[in-house]
Amino acid sequence: MKDFTTTSPVLYGALEAGGTKMVCAVGDESGEIHEQVSIPTTTPEETMPKVIAYFKDKPIRALGIACFGPVDVRKESRTYGTILETPKLPWRHYPIVGAMQDALKLPIGFDTDVNGSLLGEVTWGSAKGLTDAVYFTIGTGIGAGVMTNGKLLHGMLHPEAGHIKMSVEPGDPYKGKCPSHGTCFEGMASGPAIEARWGQPARELANRPEVWTLEACYIAQALLTAIMFLSPQRIILGGGVMHQAQLFPLIRQKVRELINGYLKTRELDDLDSYIVPASLHDDQGIMGSVKLALDAAAGE
């Protein structure tokens, strides 16, 4: 008879806290997800008891939370583990780490949703083994996770790379969707920005080449900034908009043009391997959350 006491893997809880849904899962140290549920994100009063109930009776050793932002990820901060000035008003100042800690009494790892996705890709996916990588998500919003020298970058708070300044492309009359900056990266290139500019949801514009040529120009501008500023060994692109696979060759070509021969590295010689899609089938966030839990259990 199989001895389950010695062969069952140690389990870890993973919570990918998103603006529309909370993905709750249990996984193991190989990144395998054993079970997963999705709970709509409404208000903390309604949503969090369901999240807690999911994890409460699970035999998990630690919990990892990758959360929509902005969030306080500064361990030394009085408000560590809380959601900050989010436009999702019911969640403003909500102490998500504290709430889970009180309920579960377990080690908890915590980071931004995009750092979580990057961590998933660095641990098990298309940036495996790298020490310096950037993950952009291009969806309802735009954000970036950054790893430098093997550590997820927080700095003052955490990067907000969706709000870097863009040069408006010649002939693009769109004024941008960001309430704070108008024509920042998110304002010009998020899914809602595409829909507002072209008058149709992004996914319905697959056959309009001009949409994706312009989109690639903005994404390439952001990648150029990341390359020149952070010197990543690889850049991963995920999020709903990047399901338009035709973007990848357009982005690579535009990045090559923008670099304009200034940098010559082995990585940039092979842009097909340098600018890559997320590889974990939209599980990168939840798998990264498992890794946050593993690291928390190890006391990191």
Q: What span, in angstroms and rounded, lies between the C-alpha atoms of 158 and 146?
A: 9
Q: What span, in angstroms and rounded, lies between the C-alpha atoms of 269 and 263?
A: 10
| 214 near ligand ADP, judged by CB under 6 A | no
Question: How near is the Cβ of 138 to ligand ADP at its closest, in Å?
Answer: 7
Question: 178 contacts which partner out of ligand ADP, Zn ion, none, CB within 5 to 8 A by kind?
Answer: Zn ion
Question: 74 contacts which partner out of ligand ADP, Zn ion, none, CB within 5 to 8 A by kind?
Answer: none
Per DSSP, the three-state class of 214 is helix
Question: 240 contacts which partner out of Zn ion, ligand ADP, none, CB within 5 to 8 A by kind?
Answer: ligand ADP
The residue range among 6-14, 44-52, 135-143, 270-278 that interacts with ligand ADP, by the rule CB under 6 A, is 135-143
Question: How near is the Cβ of 241 to Zn ion at its closest, in Å?
Answer: 16
Q: What span, in angstroms and rounded, lies between the C-alpha atoms of 89 and 91?
A: 5
The residue range among 40-48, 104-112, 171-179, 268-276 that interacts with Zn ion, by the rule CB under 5 A, is 171-179
Question: 239 contacts which partner out of ligand ADP, Zn ion, none, CB within 5 to 8 A by kind?
Answer: ligand ADP
CA-wise closest residue to 115 among 152, 84, 161, 81: 152
- Name the residue nearer to ligand ADP (CB basis): 19 or 182: 19
Please pick, from the candidates 162, 191, 232, 288, the single residue that binds ligand ADP as defined by CB under 6 A: 191
Please pick, from the candidates 9, 201, 209, 249, the single residue that binds ligand ADP as defined by CB under 6 A: 201
| 168 near Zn ion, judged by CB under 5 A | no
Q: What span, in angstroms and rounded, lies between the C-alpha atoms of 100 and 5?
A: 28
Token duo for residue 35? 């079970």
What are the b/e assignments for 62-81, b being 16+ CB within 10 Å?
Answer: bbbbbbbbbbbbeeeeeeeb
- Name the residue nearer to ligand ADP (CB basis): 20 or 273: 20
Question: 181 contacts which partner out of Zn ion, ligand ADP, none, CB within 5 to 8 A by kind?
Answer: Zn ion
Are 115 and 280 within 8 A, CB to CB?
no
CA-wise closest residue to 152 among 165, 166, 138, 135: 135
Q: What span, in angstroms and rounded, lies between the C-alpha atoms of 265 and 228?
A: 12
Question: Which H helix or E strand runs over 110?
Answer: strand 108-112
- Name the residue nearer to Zn ion (CB basis): 126 or 183: 183
Within a 10 A sphere around the Cβ of 57, how many other Cβ atoms?
A: 7
- Name the residue nearer to Zn ion (CB basis): 160 or 267: 160
| 213 near ligand ADP, judged by CB under 6 A | no
Question: 13 contacts which partner out of ligand ADP, Zn ion, none, CB within 5 to 8 A by kind?
Answer: none
Q: What's the distance, Cα to Cα, between the start and end of the chain in Å?
A: 37
Q: How many residues bind ligand ADP (CB under 6 A)?
A: 16
Token duo for residue 215? 């989109």
* Residue where the block lists tokens 């430098």: 148
**What residues between 176 and 205 interact with Zn ion by CB under 5 A?**
178, 180-181, 184
- Contacts with Zn ion by CB under 5 A lie at 163, 178, 180-181, 184
> Which residues would be at the binding site for ligand ADP (CB under 6 A)?
18, 20, 137, 139-141, 191-192, 201-203, 239-241, 243-244
